[in-house]
Structure 1
Amino acid sequence: MRSRDASLFVMSLILAAGCARIVAPSGGPEDKSPPSVVSVSPPPSAGVPELDRITISWDERLQQSTIEAQLFPRIPARIGSSQRSITISLEEPLGARTLLVHIPSSLSDQHGNELGATLDFAYSGLDTLPSGVIRISTARQGGTVFGAEVRVEVTDESNELVRRTTPDSTGIAFAGWLPGGGYSLLCYEDLDRSMTWERDMEAGAETTLVLPAADTLTLDMVLTVVDTVGPRLVSVTSLDAFHLQVDFNEQPAIPAAPGASFSLSDPSGARIGILGCWGSGARDARSLILATGALPAGLCILRTDGTIEDLLGNASDPDSIEFTAVDSVATDSLRLQSMYPPPGATEVSASTIIAFSFSDWVDYDSLLTRFSLSRVLDGSKVEGTLTARDSRSFEFAPLHDLMGEEQYRVEILSGLESPSGDTLQTTGWAFVAAWGDEPGSIEGVVRGGGANIVIGVTAAGSSGDSFSFGIRSGPFVLEGIPAGRYTVSAWTDRNGNGVWDPGEPYGNCPGVVLVNPGIATTGVAIEILP
């Protein structure tokens, strides 16, 4: 028994020894603190024209690959380092200049703990340091998180880089010790760490500013990607024998001349006409609808000439794409689908624009001969300009304000045709205008009355105020009369009180005088009787 127990004891010791590990003694808690400055020699200050060497000492060893010191302005110097210090040796004394030593936040110790915030040390050979500060608050458009380090650069009026820094964890950056003057500010997300702003890839923002001397200026900078690339053709779908849906990778602007921006051909190379285009109305607005000549069923080619632009004005590259056309008939008939002002509207602004659109393309020249806006009371046509917003949407801008409390009718005569040959019958709608601000004038003649004649222009109903003018007998022009309906009279103002008194010679223009906005009402004749 004793021999067996002894063997088991020895075996236990052997097993225990086989499971044991040799472990280094503990050296204390893990280092998670960033390096900190122990001393700067000489200390940052003004009045040091003889300065030619700066040493920054740290409390622990630095990761050599992260050591960097930037000088502003960029004066000739050598930058050296040891395990716990950074030394800047100027090639010549500082003299009357101001120098900023900038330590980036990426500096780290040998455990990878980064500084986390930038450090700046300022020196000047003059008696005082400039004390101007630019405080920059940075944010990404839409509130999204930055994907890389943001750089903030300040250049002076001679385009010299005078500060480069990075925002802290709250998005705030400071550019300090600046003299008063004009500066340019650039903030950008440096995705590729190239120290340059790639506008079409990296979010950024720039501005100019004037910094008052010894003042602090606060700026909010919202960084966004500046689009410099035009829309790209993605796909073409044949909707029917006369319409194509053309898809892009971003929202395109409506081309002014669709027939020049697009070209269309069948498999034989024969050209098919492009009549016009408009937005598809889809939520993402990346598609255009083209109205075309009759499409043959089968393979066709659509080409763009490089003039299609996005909403920022960036032009596309020339491109082409094949698609399969269908020769089915369009399902929607030609009709007026939107109207402004709405039919039957009242109190419509006197300076309103008449806007309307059709369900399909219509020829502008054909519409021009069939469109009219007229005053219902006398059928008089309203002068103005008809313009196309796209190939099926139009606006009419009256030359002058419309007359208040008058009904107007928009009319489009029959004869308009869609690409498929569908026709529109005579159609239209009416509305009532409100009084506007554009004045008119009254022209005429006063006979008799001698000297000291006063003309009274009195509002008829609720159309306006009353006015009086001193004139001489003969032709007259009264300007600045608000549009409206008036009675016009004249008298010899013997006592000079500006109003008609019994016994003073008097005359009036029969009926009501209508003053139209922006137009002279002529032929107003008044005879003053004794």
Structure 2
Amino acid sequence: MMMYVRVVSNIVLLSLSLFLTACAVRIAPSGGPQDKTPPSVDTTSPPQRTRNFTGDGITIRFSTYVQPTVRNAISVQPTATFNSSYSGDEVDVTFTEPLTPNTTYTVTIGSDYTDTRGNKPAEAYSLVFSTGSSIDTGTVSGSVTATSMDNITIFCYQGADTLTSAFTPRNRQPKYRLPVGTSGAFTVNGLADGTYRVMAVRDVNRNGLLDPNEEFGMARADVTVRDGRSTPIAVRMGPPIDVLRPYITRVRALSSRRLLVQFSEPVVPAQDAMSIGVTDTLDHTTPVMAMVQAPGAKDRFVVLTTESMIPGNHKVHFDTTTVRDTTGNALSDTTLSHDVNVPALDDTTSLRLIAVSVRDSARNITSSTPFEIEFSDFVNRTTVSVRGTITGGTDTVPLSAEWKNDRTLVLKMSQSLKASSQYDARISLSGLQSLTGVGMPDTTIVRTFRTSDRTDPGTVNGTFRDTSLVGGPYLLRFIDDRGAVVRTLEVRSGETWVADSLPAGTYSLDVIIDTNRNGRFDHGTSDPYTPSERWIRLPATVLVRQRWTLDGIHLVI
């Protein structure tokens, strides 16, 4: 009997323990159909826009059970330290220090959390309250367009009209930060009247700064909040912009006529080789004949002098405009002079063919595919004779030749080829000789290839009109369902436009005000700060069908 009672007592105690544990943390009910409804904030304590708040914490209840990671999505602006606790569908935020009197605070629940079924919120939520008798009710709202909304945060800087030309988001954190939800829509609440600088940053490390490797998009202008209101803005994200200038890491002599120059990153020539000077210890200058990228190394260039350098120490001088990196940054002016020891070594570099871009038996070749022929050394272009043709069936298509640089010859087709057909390319080269006088036997390159399958494009035409008098120049862009820009047209207000040879598919459209006339959308810069060009998303989409012309698309902004 005693044993029976003891077992029952243990069961009762265990049941009571489980009951108390269940009461401590509420859990989501299981079963039922899959729920894809995004979680949202249901109620808050204190209520939205409370004045004269004197408490030391707030409570936020959600529409459903959420994951504990919701605690990582909480932020307070202006910055205040806090602790948080979680209980299923509720989060408590406790401030660890007294809040500043007569101040409007915004507690934001970002979008980087999920409910228990994996659904993310459509947008962030902000609770605004004040520790004084008045509350700032201004807002800055808008939308962000990006390939994904992961880790995108709105940076909002107060007092934009007082920011100097030295301002950069790379070293200055904003007073207001707001994570962007899956919909891309955002609203920054609790703002005083004034001018704000706004941008979107994929702030992966959440440090509140725009780091060199992070995507971003600037608003096209600073935003003015007046009487609590502002005009909604649209921000389009763009890739990181490299602002670091390349520099020379090493210069060494390969022979009495060749120098190998290594840079900190891939570079392209921006000026001819005459911007390089080579001087020995007696101030004798050896002229430079040519400079070209070293085979297989985009960060290295070979410099060829017109004559042999005297053995011994030399100083090599560069100009900041000698090369640029792939984003256009000029050479750093801190490494423009280098010492090099030139050996008494004759130059014996041979000339040979090292690569042809189109391999034999290649497939899916198009009429725009070039034949690039790469040589091992500088080629004397004046002595070379080039003949190239493509034959297939009854077709004979000549190839036109041009030099990409002193080592690379490019041949292009002068007319279109038939789809899904086999062709033979024959390229004859004679009179090959390097700039140092080394010859190479006449060479014939033969390639058999097959063209890609036929894709019959479509055509779209219409009119464009600017009724808001934004002013041009205007770029009309066709964007596919992957977010890639397939076609860009320059259009004029009041005139017709035609987009032909478009691959079949559904396209969204937008218009760029191409202020700097470079033919593309610029999403702004960070250092120095510049706003983005104006970008206008058009509500229409167009369906392009093969061998079909879609007429009468009237676009108005």
Which interval holds the TM-score relative to the shorter structure? 0.3 to 0.5
Larger Rg: 1
Q: TM-score, structure 2 length as denominator?
A: 0.45
Q: Which has the higher contact order (CA 8 A, sep 6+)?
A: 2
Q: TM-score, structure 1 length as denominator?
A: 0.47
